[in-house]
Structure 1
């Protein structure tokens, strides 16, 4: 039986990879998962939720009864039942947008996100709306870290409270995460971000992905980005960043409130695939991407589910 499984696995993966197709979970023999030959890692993500805990009103002109973090929580719970190897991430702008923020600032939404089991988030421009004191308060109320690699908080009250990188393990897969934020000057009042120094996103990304892949030997490298999906001008964005990277496997984006039928699969600087995704705003959608790993070699196989759930 063991020989059959090994032969089955090698034949199946060889045919799929050489054929250029993405692995489809439903077509993979269950024996491969049962034997531990393959590890399935699910990445679910949100962005620009703007304190939308509840759905839009039933009489809302554009999104009647839709959206809301409470609804997404049920999706996450169901997905965790299907696969406990699940990462839940957010790409920034959790704050601002509903009366929940007016009354509770950022504390309430991070408490809800903590209950949902978020693994990490990054800092968007709206997190600065009430100054860095509110960001610190939210961090103190969250049981998940905020990651920002290109905001230097050394001379601010956030010094030591925001991670530049995160390394965690799911199902034996080592995952490295870094975060990139948009330039604050001209977008956020100077008093609100104080002495925060903005570091070049591309330079930062190349440094962080190399550290995570080469120094820490991460099997999967994820960028939480609040740069925006794309622009008509030359402003740095997810789609201009991705082709210049080498070790980043997935960019989870935010800021531009972009709805995608499915994520973009681009080529990095070495010609390897890099997935770029964004899930709208107001918790109207959640992104879900599946990665498959060979447990022995930790080789990544093509993603199967690359759609946004509404």
Structure 2
């Protein structure tokens, strides 16, 4: 019996933490009670729960491992202010056995990635990232950082590490999105190799060496993980990220059920733990003495506080009788636990980072006259209330920098939240509405390419004649207006297209005329239907101002926001519609 227990590996996992170091507030609903709000997650609770699960398993003479499946960058003020330094410090507080990097780690290029890795203390599992041809003159090299288990260009396999589970060798390697250049901004000299082919070659190499058990730490996305499991036999477990899937049935407390924990495909179990450090996932893998995977069991667990509130601001607690019922209901719920905070993590946050975040969270920079929601694609209820203000802010800042700028354009997915009526703080903008620290750029291009970019972005967002990458590509514009007719042939769907001149009013956009505009450093790369922007003229100015910087600057001049259709037209010229 003792020998069998030593062949159990407990794998704990997190993913898509997006700099959510502090607890979040989530809405729950127990049977017979009104909706209530409760604080959940954060790195202090993660650390505490990891310690409990680790100690529990070690007392059973089993092995433990902890992995992060990517996307720790972006998302909150902690990243806006401190970039990768805060992430490195906080992740170092967790006993990580390894991490794969996600697409958001590459939003700002390789230099920030290199600095982050240099400050971490755990393996970086990047088995399909080819560093072999990296330009060594750049000054922030990755090729020779020995904790990166990257692509072996000679063997065409992922470099891997071996986890001992009793007498069993379990190989662990990482795979990330192989079309990284489409989603992010990696340096061109460090390409990403096809994930499935890399996995096939690696599993075969391991088999040749007598290693028949493998775990993949993946930032491919849930559907891609299922495709990987189907295409490559011999993987015991895929620990996934990117899709923010909280596996497990949370409907009993009012959360969406996405998938069963540990979905099994082709004898491979797939796990994922949601996002934003709300939950910790863990599974126990039991092996026979000859390496057969005998059993799999596990779950995701929400890490909860033991106080409930009536409102999201957590300014009014529920009555004691209701709290007692809530505590009783949640205590019996299988996928949640009341969790303390680890003092060492709290102390680090207080000493180095939280004070400035809290200061900016209290710094009022404007007023919201009414609730402003965010809707990516306009529908019968209307368009986004907040995105037009965002893109107007881009135009305002870019025009300050270069008065030749005539328009602004932004993809709907770059806006992450709306605003509630009341005071607008710095943190609302930089931490919620526009948390991605991506700069705006100034460029010029011919009218025909601008028109094609708008059509391509809407085609992509609505899957009109193409397999799109999601609704986030829908274009919101300033100083432009257009009509899009979905029924017309490709290339002819923009039926009206004009640009605003402060002197002449609305003028038709001319195909061969050159126009100056601004978008983000993400959109200008031609991603998600915006490929016609690649035909821009040679001029490209990357400004030092992030998306949030632009909006914050705008609010200093125009501090009161209402729904765009009701505001003064000189501040809002987005009249785009879908027919």
Distance 2:26 2:244 in 1: 22
Quick check: 124-133 or 296-305, which moved more? 296-305
Query: Are 1:66 and 2:33 counterparts?
Result: no
In the TM superposition, what are the counterparts of 1:115-130 in structure 2 within 5 Å? Answer: 115-130=93-108
Cα distance change, pair 62–210 in 1 and its aligned pair in 2 (3 A): farther
In the TM superposition, what are the counterparts of 1:87-98 in structure 2 within 5 Å? Answer: 87-98=65-76
The aligned residue for residue 83 of structure 2 is 105
Cα distance change, pair 243–79 in 1 and its aligned pair in 2 (3 A): same
**Is the contact made by 1:173 and 1:219 (CA closer than 8 Å) also made in structure 2?**
no
Secondary structure, in 3 states, of the residue corresponding to 2:216? strand
Quick check: 277-286 or 128-137, which moved more? 128-137
The aligned residue for residue 290 of structure 1 is 284
Query: Are 1:256 and 2:256 counterparts?
Result: no
Secondary structure, in 3 states, of the residue corresponding to 2:296? coil
**Which contiguous aligned blocks of 4+ residues in structure 1 show a shift greater than 6 angstroms?**
58-63
**Is the contact made by 1:243 and 1:266 (CA closer than 8 Å) also made in structure 2?**
no
The aligned residue for residue 163 of structure 1 is 149
Normalization by structure 2: what TM-score?
0.43
Cα distance change, pair 103–170 in 1 and its aligned pair in 2 (3 A): farther
Cα distance change, pair 59–287 in 1 and its aligned pair in 2 (3 A): closer
Query: Are 1:82 and 2:68 counterparts?
Result: no
Distance 2:4 2:85 in 1: 42
Secondary structure, in 3 states, of the residue corresponding to 2:149? coil
For structure 2, the 5+ residue unaligned runs are 29-34, 135-140, 151-159, 249-259, 303-579
1:303 corresponds to which of 296, 304, 312: 296
The aligned residue for residue 37 of structure 1 is 4
1:201 corresponds to which of 195, 198, 209: 195
Secondary structure, in 3 states, of the residue corresponding to 1:48? coil
CA shift, 1:82, in A, is: 0.4
Distance 1:142 1:40 in 2: 28
Secondary structure, in 3 states, of the residue corresponding to 1:65? strand
CA shift, 1:170, in A, is: 4.4
Distance 1:220 1:113 in 2: 27
Normalization by structure 1: what TM-score?
0.78
Distance 1:225 1:209 in 2: 15
CA shift, 1:210, in A, is: 2.2
1:28-86 residue CA offsets vs partner (Å, 9 max, x unmatched): xxxx2xx3233221000011001111111589999741221221111100011101311
CA shift, 1:208, in A, is: 1.5
Cα distance change, pair 285–57 in 1 and its aligned pair in 2 (3 A): closer
**Is the contact made by 1:86 and 1:170 (CA closer than 8 Å) also made in structure 2?**
no
CA shift, 1:117, in A, is: 0.8
Cα distance change, pair 110–298 in 1 and its aligned pair in 2 (3 A): same
Query: Are 1:139 and 2:112 counterparts?
Result: no
Secondary structure, in 3 states, of the residue corresponding to 1:101? helix
The aligned residue for residue 174 of structure 2 is 179
The aligned residue for residue 21 of structure 1 is none
1:121-145 residue CA offsets vs partner (Å, 9 max, x unmatched): 0010111123212211121111111
1:191-210 residue CA offsets vs partner (Å, 9 max, x unmatched): x4332212111101111222
**Is the contact made by 1:41 and 1:170 (CA closer than 8 Å) also made in structure 2?**
yes
1:150-204 residue CA offsets vs partner (Å, 9 max, x unmatched): 1212233221332132223244442211111111122113xx4332212111101
Structure with the larger RCO, 1 or 2 (CA within 8 Å, 6+ apart): 1
CA shift, 1:255, in A, is: 0.6
Cα distance change, pair 71–219 in 1 and its aligned pair in 2 (3 A): farther
For structure 1, the 5+ residue unaligned runs are 1-31, 231-236
The aligned residue for residue 245 of structure 1 is 232
RMSD across aligned positions (CA):
2.3
1:95-148 residue CA offsets vs partner (Å, 9 max, x unmatched): 111121122222222332222210000010111123212211121111111111
Quick check: 131-140 or 75-84, which moved more? 131-140
CA shift, 1:246, in A, is: 1.4
Report the structure number with the largest CA radius of gyration: 2
Distance 2:111 2:182 in 1: 20
Quick check: 239-248 or 108-117, which moved more? 108-117
Quick check: 167-176 or 102-111, which moved more? 167-176
Query: Are 1:151 and 2:129 counterparts?
Result: yes
Q: How many residues align?
A: 262
Distance 1:49 1:106 in 2: 13
